[in-house]
Amino acid sequence: MSDEQPTDLTTGDDLPEQMRIRREKRARLLAEGGDPYPVELPRTHSLAEIRETYSDLPVDTATGVKVAVTGRVMFLRNTGKLCFATLRDGDGTELQAMLSLNNVGADPLAAWKSDVDLGDHVFVSGEVITSRRGELSILADEWRMAAKSLRPLPVAHKALSEETRIRQRYVDLIVRGQARDVVRNRAGVVRSLRDSFHRRGFIEVETPILQTMHGGATARPFVTHSNAMDVDLYLRIAPELFLKRCVVGGLEKVFEINRNFRNEGSDSSHSPEFAMLEYYEAYATYDTVAVTTRQLVQEAAEAVFGTQVVTLADGSEYDVSGDWTALTMYGSLSDALGEEVTPETSVEVLRKHAAARELEVDPKHGHGKLVEELWEHLVGDHLHAPTFVRDFPVETSPLTRQHRSVPGVAEKWDLYIRGFELATGYSELVDPVVERERLEDQARHGAAGDDEAMRLDEDFLRALEYGMPPTGGVGMGIDRLLMALTGLGIRETILFPLVRPE
RNA sequence: GGGCCGUUAGCUCAAUUGGUAGAGCUGCGGACUUUUAAUCCGUAGGUUCUGGGUUCGAGCCCCAGGCGGCCCA
C-alpha cells in the first residue's frame, strides 16, 4: 500500500495533529480502565425503530420511555452544560442524542466533550424526547464509546474528490448518502432480475470463472496459473459457452449473474472486471428474448424505483415504459446516409461514405466492421430512448444464426440506451458443423496474431454435436443496467472498482 | 497508444508578472442548558505528488516520471 513511514500508534509523533490526538484519546481511555472497542453493548432499538415509533411526537415532549441506541457521530454541537450529537445508523437513519449536565452528571459530560470526535461510534441510553425545536432525541442517562475512530472524517458539506470516493469507498459511504443508495439500488436491481427469472421458470447456475480455454466473446483474457495442475488458466470473458452446454444438457431456461474479466482499460462505460447477466431459453428467438429483456429492465425499474420513468443523476427523467423502438442496422444506416446500404454494398462504397463524413476507418476493416462503424457514428451515438438495433452483418457475429429470410445478416440485436450498449441478444447458432467452421476461422485469426480471437473449444463443439435445441440468448451488463437506470458512470455503480495502486 | 487539464493543510479549494504559501470547514484552548453545517473569542496545522534543471530567488518556468480526469484512436 504505502510508503508511509511506520508509525508508533501510541504516540504517532509523525502523524498529522488530528490523527495523533485521536490515538491519544484511545490510549487515555485504555489507561483509565475504559474500552474504546467494547465487544458488546446493550442496544435495545435501532434508530429507525425509534423514528418509526415516535414519528408524531409534539414539540418538547418527554415520553418516559427508556431506550439504548448506537450510532456513528455525524455532527457535534456542544454547549457548556448541554451537548447535541447527530447519530447515524448503518441504514442511514439519523437521530439526535442530547447529553445534559442534569441527566448524565458532570464527569460523564466532561468525558463526552473530551473523548468523542466526529466519526466515533457511541452508545447512548436514555429517554425518548423531543427537543424544544421538535427534534426527536434521546436524552442520555449514560453514554459509552462503542468504537473510537482514529481518522478524521472529511468535511461533510463538500464533495470528496472523485478519486478519493473510489479509492476509499468506505469513506464515501460514510459521508455521502447517494453512495449508499447506489449500493442498495444495485442490490435491488439484481434481486429484481432474479425474481423476474424465477417467475418465468429459469434456473440460476454458476459456471466456471477459472477456465482452461476462454471463449464466448472477442476480448483479451487475464491469464493465471494453477500450480497443482501446472497449466495456465484464463479468467472468463463470458459465461456463454458453459451456459450453452447447460441448454444441451436439458437445462432449457438458464441464467447466470456473475463477474467477467477482460484485459482492457477502463473509461466511463468500461471496467476490466464487470458484472454480467446472461440467459438462454430453448425455443426462444431473438424476437422473443427482446420482449423478455425489455420486461426485465422495466420490472427492475419498477421494483427499485417504483416507476418506469426513472430520475437520473442529472435530474432528468428517463422513460423505459411501454414498447421500445426497433430498427434494423442496414435500414437505419441507409436512412442516415440517404442512400441504400445492404449486405451486398461493396467495401469501396462504404469507405467512400466514411470518407465523406470525415470518419477515419482502419483500412483492414471489411464490410461488417465498416457497416458497424458507420452505424455507430451516424445512428448509434444519437439514440437516446431504449432502442433495439437488429440484424447485424454476419461477418462480425460468428456465434449467431443467419437470418431466416434476409440474406447476409445475423439474427442479432443490440439494445441501446442513452447512446451506450446495454444488452445483446441472438437466435443462437446451434449447427455444430457451421459452428466449427466459424470457430476454425476465429482460430486462424488467433494464429495470425489477433489476441482477441476466439479459441477452438473442442469440448464445446462436442456438446453441440449432441444436439442443442433452437435457443435465444441474451447478455446484459449489470453495471450498465445500473448506469441506465441512474445516469451514473460505471465506476459509481461498482462498489470497489479496479484502480492503480497508490 | 496520442493530446489537453489537474495534483497545494485532515477535507474542499485560493495564491497577481517568478519575490514571506492563504481561506472555509475540521482540529486544539476557552465561553455558552435547546443546537441542526450552532454561535462567539483565541490558536495550531505545509516534503506545494516525486526527481532533476534554470534563477539571487520556483507552488508558478524547463525536463523526466507517478497518480487522476477529459477527449481522441
**Which residues of A spanning 406-445 put their CB closer than 7 angstroms to strand B?**
none
Instruction: Give the nucleotide nearest to A131 (CA→C1').
Output: B34
Alpha carbon A392 to its chain centroid, in Å, reads 28
Largest CA distance in chain A: 89
Closest protein residue to B44 (Cα–C1'): A17
Q: Is-contact A297 A499, C-beta < 8 A?
A: no
- List, edge to edge, every strand of the sheet that includes A253-261: A203-204, A253-261, A273-282, A471-477, A420-427, A409-417, A387-393, A325-328
Backbone phi, then psi, for A262, in 5-degree steps?
Answer: -130, 135
Q: Is-contact A215 A455, C-beta < 8 A?
A: yes
Q: CA of A74 and C1' of B15: distance in angstroms? A: 32
pTM (2 d.p.): 0.89
Q: Is-contact A255 A284, C-beta < 8 A?
A: no
Q: CA of A273 and C1' of B32: distance in angstroms? A: 55
- pLDDT tens per residue across all 502 residues of chain A: 333 333 333 444 567 788 889 999 999 999 989 999 999 999 999 999 999 999 889 999 999 999 999 999 999 998 989 999 999 998 889 999 999 999 999 999 999 999 999 999 999 999 999 999 999 999 999 999 999 999 888 887 777 888 888 888 898 888 888 888 999 999 999 999 999 999 999 999 999 999 998 888 888 888 899 999 999 999 999 999 999 999 999 999 999 998 999 888 787 778 888 999 999 999 999 999 999 999 999 999 999 999 999 998 888 899 999 999 999 999 999 999 999 999 999 999 998 888 888 777 777 788 888 899 899 888 988 888 999 999 999 888 877 899 999 999 999 999 999 888 899 999 999 999 999 998 888 888 778 777 777 788 999 999 999 999 999 999 999 999 999 999 888 888 899 888 887 7
Q: What is the pLDDT of residue A14?
A: 60
Query: What's the grid cell of residue A475?
Result: 447478455
Q: Give the relative orientation of helices A329-337 and A367-378 as an angle to the nearest 10 degrees.
A: 60
DSSP A277-332: EEEEEET--HHHHHHHHHHHHHHHHHHHHSSSEEEPTTS-EEE--S--EEEEHHHH
* Strand B atom within 7 Å of A491 CB: yes
**Which residues of A spanning 359-398 put their CB closer than 7 angstroms to strand B?**
360, 362
Tell me which residue of A101, A78, A85 sits closest to A137, measured CA to CA. A85
Tell me which residue of A362, A357, A483 sits closest to A415, measured CA to CA. A483
User: Which bases on strand B have an atom closer than 7 Å to a protein beta carbon?
Assistant: 9-13, 24-29, 31-38, 44-45, 66-71, 73
* Strand B atom within 7 Å of A98 CB: yes
Q: What is the pLDDT of residue A266?
A: 80
**Which residues of A spanning 60-79 put their CB closer than 7 angstroms to strand B?**
75-79
Instruction: Give the nucleotide nearest to A159 (CA→C1').
Output: B12
